Structure 1
Amino acid sequence: MNLSLQTNKDDLNDLISQLKIGFIGAGNMAYGIAQGIITSGKVSPTNMIVSAPSMNNLPRFQERGVSITQSNEEVVQKSSVVFLAVKPHLIPKVLNEISHGVTQQHIIVSMAAGVTIATLEDLLPAETHVIRIMPNLPCVLMEGALILTSGSCAGEKEETLLKNLLSPCGLVEAGPEHWIDAHTGLSGSGVAFVYVFAEALAEGAVKMGMPSVLAQRIAAQTILGAGLLLRDTGKLPAQLKAEVCTPGGTTIHGLHELEKGGIRAAVMGAVEAATERARELGKK
């Protein structure tokens, strides 16, 4: 893959449209990223292939026009960008299986939590272009948050290519590798933390007499609206919170109860615990 001539946006889009994209692993993250790329029109599904050891998750890819296989080696043979979308403990096995087919023309993109760039590069041929990313579940709706970091042989051109390829999936940011584990705790696991909060919001309304189904819908819309305001206004959470609070009003009384329950410490502790677990997975 020659990126040397790609000096403007049109050239970059042309290059991306010609890419051959492969996924090893057919779980929700692989599907979310594939769906974002396909929906955006950046790459035709006929230029994509996905593998998995069983047929359980493959039909949904096939329905989108993506080729399917149970051979990881076939994915490497037919792809220029290969996403590793398997569990962290399977990475050594998969890389041992495919490494002989990996060339300097490939970009290998790992989504495995905790598995470091150094580990990936040790298991792949010398000078392989390796990029590590961490997506989250909302990628399936093209509203995800992704962090990426490049290996020693992946330069600015490969990073720019991947950022543009993944941009339909949501917010894409690049940074140092130690951000990846923190992002896992913040956004990867953080999605589940938000669901717990949504569940609690709805249950509070049910306790006060609202029907459960309606309470869940309103809780979801409340979180969605609050998130959009936070993202699109550029204001800090504290600023937006202050705009909702009135002296002696309902919100400040509710916030007092949250503070008594230790919500800040609990949430910070949850992010910390998830981050540390991601680091442990990498060491294993």
Structure 2
Amino acid sequence: MIALAPAPMGNLSIPSGMAFTDEALLEQCKKLGIETTHDNTLVARENDVIVLAVKPMHISKVTSEIAPNFRREHLLISIALGITLRYIEQLLPSKSRVVRVMPNTPAVVGAGASAYAMGSACQDGDSQVVQDLFSTVGFSVEVPEIHLDPITGLSGSGPSYGFSMIEGLADGGVKMGLPRELSLKLAAMSLYGAAKMFLETGEHPAVLKEAVQSPGGSTIFGIHELEKGGMRGLLINAVEAASERSRRTGEAALPPGRTADDEESSEDSSSSDEDERNDGPEVPKHRKGPNY
């Protein structure tokens, strides 16, 4: 099932890269003023900002369909896993404005985390457009493109890690005699509360963790078991594995014989303006959405 988060934007259309079989979803699109179409060329003709939300293996096909109608005033925002800015730029007319974004699923409830990188031909106002769009559903931040694969492994996949933690904690509650529904609620609220405390206090997680631990108390015994099980190492491994998968997925979409390293080398030899943009500001601009 696909869910659409409400956002203060109009004149939206959804191309044929998304197959709708849910009548309720189609009705939701109508209520939000979102048109649906099976003609990708129509999307480029009637919209200035295009969000390319398709699987990596479909990037070439969908982009080739919109390319003939792609003009200088268009801004293309891609959320395709692992697909580089340079690869998409090469599929479009010269100097096309392209942005690559890695969002995550909590955007559905206004608590998303989205990181984005600007393409070489983007204009000054394009970053603000992306900020305005993605900050409506959570936190958004501009980063150098080289950070997007690690971000995929961290925040892109992070919600799934969190759901696994909720499930595991709830199983522990059930083992100790608690009802399943209550265990799930308590586990979810514990992680939510921990995240909220960290974000609002600004304290380091270690400081907050130690504040809960009493000498010889129950919490330190539980933490000891987590450390014996290698929880930190497992989380690090998960982020590393998902990051590498993102990079390899992007490479799989490249022409035969080319790798992500080749793409980076090509980018290094491009204009100094692009280099300056990819370096990014020391402290990237970011926003909190209304429900963050």
TM-score normalized by the length of structure 1: 0.84
- Equivalent pairs counted in the alignment come to 248
User: Residue in 2 aligned with 1:218?
Assistant: 186
Indicate which of 161, 179, 189 corresponds to 2:147. 179
**Which of 52, 58, 67 does residue 16 from structure 2 map onto?**
52
Deviation at 1:51, TM superposition (A): 1.9
- Residue 22 of structure 1: aligned partner: none
**What is the rounded CA distance, in whole Å, between the counterparts of 2:151 and 2:197 in structure 1?**
21
Moved over 6 A (4+): none
The CA distance in 2 between the partners of 1:191 and 1:78, in whole Å, is: 35
Q: Tell whether the 8 Å contact from 1:84 to 1:110 is kept in structure 2 after alignment.
A: yes
Residue 200 of structure 1: aligned partner? 168
* 1:272 lines up with 2:236 in the alignment: no
Q: Does 1:239 align with 2:207?
A: yes
Residues in 1 aligned to 2:238 and 2:200: alpha-carbon distance in whole angstroms: 26
SS of 1:156's equivalent in the other structure is coil
Alignment of 1:82-101 (within 5 A): 82-101=50-69
1:245 deviates by 1.1
* TM-score, with structure 2 as normaliser: 0.82
Inter-partner Cα distance in structure 2 for 1:230 and 1:213: 26
Give the alignment's Cα RMSD to 1 decimal: 1.4
Determine helix, strand or coil for the equivalent of 1:105.
coil
Letter in 2 for 1:227: A
Give the CA deviation at 1:256: 0.2
- Structure 1: give runs of 5+ residues left out of the alignment: 1-26
Taking the TM superposition and a 5 Å limit, the aligned residue runs for 1:114-133 are 114-133=82-101
Secondary structure at 2:125's aligned position in 1?
Answer: helix
Cα distance between partner residues in 2 of 1:55 and 1:270:
32
Name the structure 1 match of 2:230: 262
Q: What is residue 159 of structure 2 aligned with on the other side? A: 191
Q: C-alpha displacement at 1:97, in angstroms?
A: 1.1
* Identity fraction in percent: 38
**Equivalent AA in structure 2 for residue 253 of structure 1:** F
* RCO comparison, higher one (Cα < 8 Å, 6+): 2
1:78 is matched with which residue? 46
Is residue 147 of structure 1 aligned with residue 115 of structure 2?
yes
Provide the residue aligned with 1:112 in structure 2: 80
Displacement of 1:219 in angstroms is 0.9
Q: 1:254, CA displacement in angstroms? A: 0.3
Provide Cα deviations, 1:52-88, integer angstroms capped at 9, x if missing partner.
Answer: 3533255032232211111111111111110000001
Inter-partner Cα distance in structure 2 for 1:140 and 1:153? 30
TM-superposed CA distance for 1:272, in Å, is: 0.2
Secondary structure of 1:113's counterpart equals coil
- Kept in 1, the 8 Å contact 2:6–2:32? The answer is no
Secondary structure at the counterpart of residue 162 of structure 2: helix
Give the residue type in structure 1 aligned to 2:93.
Answer: P
User: Could you give the per-residue CA deviations for residues 235-268 of structure 1, whole angstroms, max 9, x where no partner exists?
Assistant: 1111111111111111111000000000000000
Q: What pairs with 1:27-46 in structure 2 (closer than 5 Å)? A: 28=2, 32=4, 35-37=5-7, 41=8, 43-44=9-10
The one-letter amino acid of 2:221's match is: H
Deviates more, 1:67-76 or 1:272-281: 67-76
Counterpart contact for 1:36–1:139, Cα < 8 Å: no
